[in-house]
A and B are shown apart, each in its own frame.
Chain A
Amino acid sequence: MGSILVNGKTQEVELPISLIDLIKKNNVEQPEMVSIQVNGEFVDRNNFDSTQINANDEVDFLYFMGGGSRC
């Protein structure tokens, strides 16, 4: 086990973990609706499964949000 930061909060996970498994673990229902930064760098969507998350990494899930008015 090791700790990482996910959206600013500490999570204890088995490390290393692939980004795609971290997405599943965090119950992200629609991975296509999230943009992900690891340690401040955006990860290409095609590399979600090949990206490994290590101890003390900072992961940010940034969700697509619409809202407002149809225009």
Chain B
Amino acid sequence: MDFNEDQIQRYSRHILLQDVGVEGQEKISNGKVLIIGAGGLGAPVALYLAAAGVGTIGIIDGDVVDLSNLQRQVIHFTPDVNKSKVQSAKEKINLLNPDVNVITYYDLLTASNALEIIKDYDFIVDGTDNFPVKFLINDACVKAGKPFSHGGILRFDGQTITVLPGSACYRCVFHAPPPANAVPTCSQAGVLGAIAGMLGTIQAAEVLKYLTGVGDLLTNRLLTFNAKTMDFRTIKVKHNSKCQVCGDHPTITELIDYEQATCEIKSNH
């Protein structure tokens, strides 16, 4: 890929980095990244990857923008309320960087479409809010041999881990979705808006590190932070030989659509 003068100027702060340079920027520009969920996490991920010049960004989300999203989902603006999140995100990405080819999926990720959608991408970002889909993303990526970044936020806390083929996967750590009626989500428990940006930008940095091959990814380590204390920890986790999807004797051979938690169940918690 030959960059034109505008592109050399646009990406100059990457090109200046000794570890990235023109070659690294070419890898970014050739990268194809799928963002699952255009919400609190997907918003900063999409904006930073767009700014970085990732060549193709896929976004899947079946929701429309709600006024209550704008406290943290910084890719959506007030006039976007009631617009599909993928369309709203696509418009901002292309305003920020017309070089990016944006592919939108106005849909939910399910066991029946997951493998078909992820197969075209180099890296997958989990920006979803619920465990059924988090486990679905994990299982689909493990099966397809696709690297992905898990991200989760709640109240004042965040966590993320990067999963490569062969490294500890999300299921190695968390085994199975918690009981649907036990789960507080952001829509029920609340979340400090800026937490989404803190976690999402870590995920975006992992994507850029993966595409350029720079540094050590957050594999076999779960990063957690609490914004009240601003304590960050990375906890070593190991590939689990008993893991149901990537262990020695996997028992999960088909993707699963787990039952979704309904908002009513825990709304008084």
B130-160, CB under 8 A of A: which get 1 and which 0? 1101100000000000000001111001110
Name B's interface SS.
mixed
Number of interchain pairs (Cβ within 8 Å): 121
Would B240 and A70 count as touching, CB distance under 8 A?
no
Chain B nearest CB, measured from A35 CB (Å): 5
What are 26 of the A-B contact pairs (CB < 8 Å)? A30-B182, A32-B179, A35-B174, A40-B238, A42-B172, A42-B175, A62-B235, A64-B174, A66-B134, A66-B184, A66-B186, A67-B129, A67-B158, A68-B37, A68-B39, A68-B128, A68-B151, A69-B129, A70-B37, A70-B62, A71-B39, A71-B61, A71-B63, A71-B127, A71-B128, A71-B133
**Residues of A bordering B, CB below 8 Å:** 7-8, 30, 32-33, 35, 37, 40-42, 45, 60, 62-71
In the complex, which of the residues A7, A62, A65, A69 contacts B37, with contact meaning CB atoms closer than 8 Å? A69
Give the one of A32, A65, A67 with max B CB within 10 A.
Answer: A67
B60 contacts the other chain (Cβ, under 8 Å)? yes
B residues near A (Cβ < 8 Å) are 36-42, 60-63, 73, 85, 108-109, 126-131, 133-134, 151-154, 157-159, 172-175, 178-179, 182-187, 191, 195-196, 199, 222, 224, 233, 235-238, 240
